[in-house]
Amino acid sequence: MDGRPEIELPDCPPPKSLPGTRTTDGEAFPTYACPSVPHLVLLVPDVDKVDLDRRGPPLRRDPAIGPGGANVNWVSPVGDGTYRMRTWERGVEGETLACGTGAVACALTLEEKAMASSPIRIWTRSRLPLDVSWRRNVDLITSIRVRGEGRLVCRGIVGELPT
């Protein structure tokens, strides 16, 4: 243990390709994964070049995903065996600095495409890594663990909602 928090997620089915997804140039291998929360994962050459404000909303609700939509993750190789990701989260309806289940979805997709294996390090928009490990059986992903540092990024007071 390195002192960073770690969580174990419930088992999940392997990721599946979504060939009907409306991708643009540079977005490859659209894949659906559901490690507790539904995610669409797209492989891109460089996550920094993705216009999330333009691409996030339509992909989050892409008909290929089904009702309810999904979080959308773009992932690209760093070059040292690690990867970088960016996430558009449903509910937030915007980019978030990190997403643990998104990192798992990216890791499982990379394994599915024979680009990586457990364990894997994924760098988030916060510039902090999430380390993901898992075991793959034929039709089930088990022992899913995510380790990473959490940080307080803002404080606020929420008033009562209007009735």
Q: pLDDT digits over 141-151, tens only?
A: 999 999 998 87
Is cis: bond before 67, omega within 30 of 0? no
Cβ proximity of 131 and 148 under 8 Å: yes
Residue 1's pLDDT is what? 56
Q: pLDDT digits over 70-117, tens only?
A: 999 999 999 899 999 999 999 999 999 999 999 999 999 999 999 999
Q: pLDDT digits over 15-52, tens only?
A: 999 988 888 888 999 999 999 999 999 999 999 999 99
Report the CATH number of the 6-148 domain: 3.10.310.10
Backbone phi and psi for residue 59, each to the nearest 5 degrees, phi listed first: -70, -35
The domain limits of the chain are 6-148
> Full-prediction pTM beyond 0.85?
yes
